[in-house]
Amino acid sequence: MASNVKAFPKKWIRIGIVVLIILILVGTIWGSYNTLVRLNQGVDNSWANVETQYQRRIDLIPNLVNTLEASGKFEKSTLVELSTLRTQWQAAPDVNRQVQTSNQIESAISKLLLVAENYPVLQTSARFQSLSDSLTETENMVSVSRTRYNDAIREYNTATKVFPSNIIAGWFGFSERDYFKATTPGAENVTVVNITIP
């Protein structure tokens, strides 16, 4: 009888330890899963912010094209390219294609604004200046949104690689996501400006 009394607490201690280990494992899995879901949603939200800025840029293009066409002598090929890219962006089937088209739009807008400098009548046009300012502001907002998107990606990707959340990520299909990368040729190079003073 005495041996049964001594064995009874040890048995419950072992059961308590097993239950505690199970609770720790479940808590770890639950916490890691919820963190991964939250971070994944953060990435999606950051991308939505990038798309919002892209859409703002796209919405400015018709007004810009109309203003430049009104100037008469402006190169039609640049305007046609910009209008075509706008249509391609709106019809892009996936995020990667949207990014590629957006990079082309960015390049076309830069070229357009450089060419516009050769037209003094545009430089004095209040409508053109307003659109140019709006485009500059939008480009700054696009840049900020892309940076925030990459920050969200970094945080999410880190969570999919560190222990123990990397195990949970594998179990539930949370895979690494791609960073936003500029694909415009030469984007990785810093532009060198040479200023000569007479």
178: left (phi over 0), alpha (psi -120 to 50) or beta: beta
The CATH architecture annotation of domain 2-172 reads Up-down Bundle (1.20)
User: CA angle at residue 175 from 172 to 181, to 5 degrees?
Assistant: 160
Q: Identify the weakest region by mean pLDDT among 51-55, 129-133, 182-186.
A: 182-186
Locate the domains of the chain by residue range: 2-172
Distance in angstroms (rounded) separating the CA atoms of residues 90 and 80: 16
* pLDDT for residue 190: 39
User: Is residue 144 within 8 Å of 166, Cβ to Cβ?
Assistant: no
Asked whether 47 and 149 are in contact (CB, 8 A), the reply is yes
What is the structure's pLDDT at 8?
61
Contact 26, 34 (CB under 8 A): no
| Alpha carbon distance 184, 5 (integer Å) | 78
Q: What tens digit of pLDDT does each residue of 68-116 get?
A: 777 666 667 777 888 888 888 888 888 888 888 888 888 888 887 777 7
Enter the tokens of residue 4: 């049964």
3-state DSSP assignment of residue 71: coil
- Residue 60 corresponds to which amino acid? L
Mean pLDDT of the chain: 82
The 10s digit of each residue's pLDDT in 148-189 is 999 999 999 999 999 989 999 999 999 999 888 765 544 444
